[in-house]
Structure 1
Amino acid sequence: MSKSSNRMSQGSATEIDRDDENYCTTPEFIYGGPFIKVEKPCPFLNTATPINLQLQGSFKKSFAYYSLKERMPVILTKVIDYLSREGNKIKSGNGASDEDIRNYIQYVTKLKNDLVTNKKYDLLTVDTPEAQRWNKWIESCETQNYFMNTWVFTECYVYRRLREGCESTKTLANFDPFDEQKDQSFNNSMEPMCVVAEKLISMLPESDKDKRKADFITLLKVCLWSNKCDLSLSMGEQVTLKNEGTVKKTPSRDILDPFQMILDLKDKVLVDDSAKIADLVVSRGENIAKAIEGPPEAEPAEGEAPPEVPPCPAKFTIPQDVMFDIVCDNSGYELFTDLCLAHFLIAQKIVQKVRFHVKKIPWFVSDVTPRDFKFVISSCARGNYKREIPPDPKPEPAEGEAPTEPDPPRVISADSLRQLGEQWDKFVQDGTFVVLSDDFWTSPHVYKDMKRYDPDLYRKLQFAAAILFKGDLNYRKLLGEKNWNPTTGFEPALQGFLPAPVAALRTVKADLICGLPKGKWEQLNALDAKWMEKGDYGVIQVCAKCEPLKVSDRPCPQYGDTCRGTVCN
């Protein structure tokens, strides 16, 4: 019998060589074959995320797939490395044992392996109401595999699991696996913070409306480009701001000047609603202030006692203060710029309070927690930095002209930074700055669903003159994690999330966007197919439309049976 007659094939199946020395060990020999190879359907599609679908890791040409496959495993690996490298410091700082550190390393290692192999989510095992809610959300998912569910759900789930590993090990309950990276990021940004602090001091005295608007717009753009400092995008590597453009290097260009960045990057702002935001916040603030003041109260009638009990907050239809809300993103330099904007709004009497919404637990590597908020303010108050920059060389004098005197060197110091830090600490103490950390910000839900999952937070936001959402994760949640047609307007993309006027500042670090001029998306794609993943471009967008504040049909959760020291009426 010829060798060729000993080959069998079935359709497109691979031919079997019976003369192969290993043939006797194959299923075809043992069970009598031939066996037809069955191709299982692949759950991954070799495409980018189609328009109008939510982002998820099943689209292999999407940033979601790359993030889950490449970025997040590196972030988890760095947590493991940090635990191994700094085990002694972590033990002493938390009262932990060697076994506690080993157990957490094993926990994070399993989490990483489950992610990269696209396993199903495990339920949380800690017994808290918040964890129980998470388990209900997990069980309600149509698909519970890491790559098959929406990208934002999976990312939030991974960071929530990182936290569960600490909660399960009691001695690590207050441990933040990213604290070292966040603190280092702050320390690396001292020079640009000193430059901004010095400029801000000159913006604080009350000014005419034109200068006030111009300064407001400038600070919004400083806040925008500070969003480049994102340790999640860099997979935990330090991000250092740098001067942009092709201007010839001079001593003055050696300064990390965020105000120069605004000029250098003016063409990288794809949508610029900063002037609209400034006008809106000022006008809304004035209108709310007038409504709070209201008409003069009539004197009580003879024999009638004046009212002693204020109405329940659930019944308020007018805010008690003119407030501006900032939903924070990254700690360090970005939080510093948010504090600068907030200080400006207070100093110019545009608003009376600023509420900062931060994450209750460590989140997306560098997101602000209450601990980070305190750290940034206290570090500014004790800032220590000084650098002397020589003046730029002057041109040679013309023939017969006397040489001009050189300019004095420029000194960048932390004097203004310390002054701001001390004032911010007072603002926190007297309630001018308010720090809030609701559970919803670390839930996997997009913001159009806030009213369903946390109606109390939605109503709380309705008291703001406007809400500023910072950064890419907030932007994704505002847009419902949906790959909108890039020309779709910002308001329709919010899908009814209108508690107050919504503003968004974001450097583009994920492949979804809205509100672009026609043809702009195609133009940028032709220049660089990865432009949406790098943070080189930014948007400043606003939706002025909002729901009116009405009497709530729910009891007030903040006060319970008492309201401001008296019985609730």
Structure 2
Amino acid sequence: MNTNISPNHPPYPAYRATEKGSFAWDSTVRRWPIIIDTALVDMQKAMDTLQNDQVTQKEEGTSIINGLNQLKQEIADDKPLRLLKDNDSDSETWNQHITTHFNNVTWFNGSWLFNECYMYRRIRELYSLSNYWQDYDLFNNQKIATFRGSHGSVFDLATKMPTMIQPMEIEKQELVFQELLQVCLWGNATDLSLLTNMTEDDIKRLQAIEKEKLAEQLNYIVVNHIDQVWKKLKHLEKGRVDFILDNSGFEVFVDLIFADWLLQTNRASKVVFNCKTIPWFVSDVMPKDIPILFDCCLNPDFFPGEPTKEQQQALETLVKRWQSYVHSGQLVIQSHSFWCNGLAYRTLRDEAPELYQDLATSDLIIFKGDLNFRKLVYDCQWPVTTPFHVAIGPSLAEGFTSILSLRTNKADTIVGLADGKQEKIEATATPNEWRCSGKYAVVAYNEGSS
């Protein structure tokens, strides 16, 4: 174990693209170029909508397209990471991190976690240096198109919601919680930055919300602290719950379902959605994505097919209630640049002390998705039986607040397994399948001081 911990030298060896055949290597040589190519297609389509007299916009768009191609080539050539050139509010912090911790590292030999985050920040730089395109979300069309494809599950959940929030005895509330937590867990199957590894059938299976499927999925949760989470929520009254969001579209829709249940059952009087500040990992939620989702749901022509009148009314009632939460302050939507840097979350107290103090007042923080898990546990090659509270570090495990990570496994990093669990899993699944395919999951919880 490394006792001199730093961002490029985590507690155990970092995942790096220098290991040919690894998931980090595959991301660097295959997934990232696909993501950039998709961005190039989107940019060209946006350019094609410009009028002939929009000369400056076209010139800037051409510059961005050239920059995306150059970035792709830079990665392929394994060039050193360079400092950022824009003047965004986080540029100085990024450059300090590069200079201090990643000076002269390359796209392959730097830590996979930092490099992947840096790639998205370099994409942001191209837009930041423009005038016309500064607020353009190059992933927006993909987010909306993917959400449109989730219409079956959207209407199913909307019609179920009135039953979920009606008064009921505590035993039935626990059953509702169990179902909601699993829907919230498997909802992040639609991570667009990783769809290159998954078939449409995989996504449909992971989004399935029938009770039989949810019961079956319990077998695929390799770290299961669901009972501990219920123990926390069972007696919580009018608390604050934070979500560190992951993907937009269907995943944030089910996050809203879970938040609604927390508010309607008076377990929470305030829910805070913490978003990304820039287009990030293709599908991650920015503050503007939530009102866009509301508008999509309220547009009767948005989803394909012909929903019944009952389904459309149920969805409209649900979304208007969510809008009322935003207006009343029961649902707060905020963002912070800390969520878009390349460091592990155990640096939160030092890197963003005001955010750390704010989050410390929450009763429960729910971290959604694979990247948030990787950042929580420093994305390194821990022994798989390392306890979750050890991996997240003392600044988050002690004297902070309760933390829950809901994650489908889409990268090698894993902690919290019971003795013998890995061997049992690998009797029927390959390491790549259970660690990286999104077919297995983690519900990891640490009880805080609050």
TM-score for both structures, normalised by structure 2: 0.90
> Would the aligned equivalents of 1:470 and 1:504 in 2 still touch at CA under 8 Å?
yes
Map of 1:57 onto structure 2: 17
Q: Distance in 2 between matches of 1:236 and 1:168?
A: 33
> Would the aligned equivalents of 2:147 and 2:250 in 1 still touch at CA under 8 Å?
yes
What is the aligned counterpart of 2:362 among 444, 464, 472? 464
The one-letter code matched in structure 2 to 1:478 is L
The one-letter code matched in structure 1 to 2:69 is T
Residues 89 and 201 (structure 1 numbering): CA distance in 2 closer, same or farther, change over 3 Å?
Answer: farther
What is the aligned counterpart of 2:313 among 415, 423, 426? 415
Map of 2:277 onto structure 1: 360
Map of 1:440 onto structure 2: 338
What is the aligned counterpart of 2:231 among 274, 279, 302? 279
Q: How does 1:236-275 map onto structure 2 within 5 Å?
A: 244=205, 257-275=209-227
Q: How does 1:545-556 map onto structure 2 within 5 Å?
A: 545-546=448-449
Residues 96 and 535 (structure 1 numbering): CA distance in 2 closer, same or farther, change over 3 Å?
Answer: farther
Q: Distance in 2 between matches of 1:519 and 1:236?
A: 28
Q: Distance in 1 between matches of 2:422 and 2:112?
A: 22
Q: How does 1:81-96 map onto structure 2 within 5 Å?
A: 81-89=41-49
The one-letter code matched in structure 1 to 2:216 is D
Map of 2:431 onto structure 1: 529
Q: How does 1:315-330 map onto structure 2 within 5 Å?
A: 322-330=239-247
Map of 1:120 onto structure 2: 80
- Please state how far the C-alpha of 1:382 moved relative to its aligned partner: 3.0
Q: How does 1:101-116 map onto structure 2 within 5 Å?
A: 101-116=61-76
Q: Distance in 2 between matches of 1:279 and 1:381?
A: 36
Q: How does 1:212-227 map onto structure 2 within 5 Å?
A: 212-227=173-188
- Please state how far the C-alpha of 1:411 moved relative to its aligned partner: 9.0
Q: Distance in 2 between matches of 1:411 and 1:259?
A: 25
Residues 428 and 236 (structure 1 numbering): CA distance in 2 closer, same or farther, change over 3 Å?
Answer: farther
> Would the aligned equivalents of 2:183 and 2:209 in 1 still touch at CA under 8 Å?
no
Q: Distance in 2 between matches of 1:244 and 1:181?
A: 21
Q: Distance in 1 between matches of 2:442 and 2:151?
A: 26
Residues 266 and 412 (structure 1 numbering): CA distance in 2 closer, same or farther, change over 3 Å?
Answer: farther
Cα deviation 1:203-260 (Å, max 9, x = unaligned): 1123222222221121010011111111011149995665659xxxxxxxxx954544
Q: Distance in 2 between matches of 1:103 and 1:238?
A: 34
Per the alignment, in what secondary structure is the counterpart of residue 96 of structure 2?
helix
Q: How does 1:59-208 map onto structure 2 within 5 Å?
A: 59-89=19-49, 97-142=57-102, 143-208=104-169
Map of 1:369 onto structure 2: 286
Residues 431 and 51 (structure 1 numbering): CA distance in 2 closer, same or farther, change over 3 Å?
Answer: closer
Residues 424 and 90 (structure 1 numbering): CA distance in 2 closer, same or farther, change over 3 Å?
Answer: farther
Higher mean alpha-carbon deviation, 142-151 vs 503-512, is at 142-151
Q: Distance in 1 between matches of 2:309 and 2:329?
A: 34
The one-letter code matched in structure 2 to 1:137 is H
Cα deviation 1:493-543 (Å, max 9, x = unaligned): 111113210001000000011111222223434532321111000111100
Unaligned runs of 5+ in 1: 1-48, 246-254, 290-321, 390-409, 549-569
Q: Distance in 1 between matches of 2:339 and 2:47?
A: 30
> Which of the pair is proportionally richer in helix?
2
Residues 177 and 388 (structure 1 numbering): CA distance in 2 closer, same or farther, change over 3 Å?
Answer: closer
> Would the aligned equivalents of 1:188 and 1:240 in 2 still touch at CA under 8 Å?
no
What is the aligned counterpart of 1:379 among 296, 299, 323? 296
> Would the aligned equivalents of 1:57 and 1:147 in 2 still touch at CA under 8 Å?
yes
> Would the aligned equivalents of 1:118 and 1:146 in 2 still touch at CA under 8 Å?
yes
Map of 1:514 onto structure 2: 415
Larger Rg: 1
> Would the aligned equivalents of 1:383 and 1:417 in 2 still touch at CA under 8 Å?
no
Q: How does 1:474-489 map onto structure 2 within 5 Å?
A: 474-489=372-387
What is the aligned counterpart of 1:544 among 436, 447, 450? 447
> Would the aligned equivalents of 1:55 and 1:482 in 2 still touch at CA under 8 Å?
yes
Q: Distance in 1 between matches of 2:93 and 2:412?
A: 29
Residues 481 and 343 (structure 1 numbering): CA distance in 2 closer, same or farther, change over 3 Å?
Answer: same
Displacement over 6 Å in runs of 4+: 386-389
The one-letter code matched in structure 1 to 2:112 is W
Higher mean alpha-carbon deviation, 379-388 vs 518-527, is at 379-388
Per the alignment, in what secondary structure is the counterpart of residue 97 of structure 1?
helix
> Would the aligned equivalents of 1:95 and 1:171 in 2 still touch at CA under 8 Å?
no
Per the alignment, in what secondary structure is the counterpart of residue 234 of structure 1?
helix
Residues 363 and 242 (structure 1 numbering): CA distance in 2 closer, same or farther, change over 3 Å?
Answer: closer
Q: Does 2:417 align with 1:493?
A: no
Q: Distance in 1 between matches of 2:250 and 2:419?
A: 34
Higher mean alpha-carbon deviation, 445-454 vs 255-264, is at 255-264
The one-letter code matched in structure 2 to 1:117 is D
Residues 228 and 128 (structure 1 numbering): CA distance in 2 closer, same or farther, change over 3 Å?
Answer: closer
Residues 332 and 475 (structure 1 numbering): CA distance in 2 closer, same or farther, change over 3 Å?
Answer: same
Residues 201 and 53 (structure 1 numbering): CA distance in 2 closer, same or farther, change over 3 Å?
Answer: same
Q: Distance in 2 between matches of 1:90 and 1:53?
A: 48
Residues 506 and 244 (structure 1 numbering): CA distance in 2 closer, same or farther, change over 3 Å?
Answer: same
Residues 376 and 438 (structure 1 numbering): CA distance in 2 closer, same or farther, change over 3 Å?
Answer: same
Q: Distance in 2 between matches of 1:364 and 1:515?
A: 26
Cα deviation 1:72-124 (Å, max 9, x = unaligned): 111111111222244223779x9962212110001111111111111011211
> Would the aligned equivalents of 1:83 and 1:90 in 2 still touch at CA under 8 Å?
no
Higher mean alpha-carbon deviation, 464-473 vs 52-61, is at 52-61
- Please state how far the C-alpha of 1:432 moved relative to its aligned partner: 0.6
Higher mean alpha-carbon deviation, 337-346 vs 207-216, is at 207-216
Q: Distance in 2 between matches of 1:484 and 1:99?
A: 48
- Please state how far the C-alpha of 1:380 moved relative to its aligned partner: 2.1
> Would the aligned equivalents of 1:380 and 1:420 in 2 still touch at CA under 8 Å?
no
TM-score for both structures, normalised by structure 1: 0.72
> Would the aligned equivalents of 1:181 and 1:238 in 2 still touch at CA under 8 Å?
no
Cα deviation 1:356-388 (Å, max 9, x = unaligned): 001011000000011111111222233555869
Higher mean alpha-carbon deviation, 56-65 vs 67-76, is at 56-65
Q: How many residues align?
A: 434
Per the alignment, in what secondary structure is the counterpart of residue 325 of structure 1?
strand
Per the alignment, in what secondary structure is the counterpart of residue 233 of structure 1?
helix
Cα deviation 1:405-461 (Å, max 9, x = unaligned): xxxxx9983321111111111111111100110110001111111111111111111
The one-letter code matched in structure 2 to 1:516 is L
- Please state how far the C-alpha of 1:127 moved relative to its aligned partner: 2.2
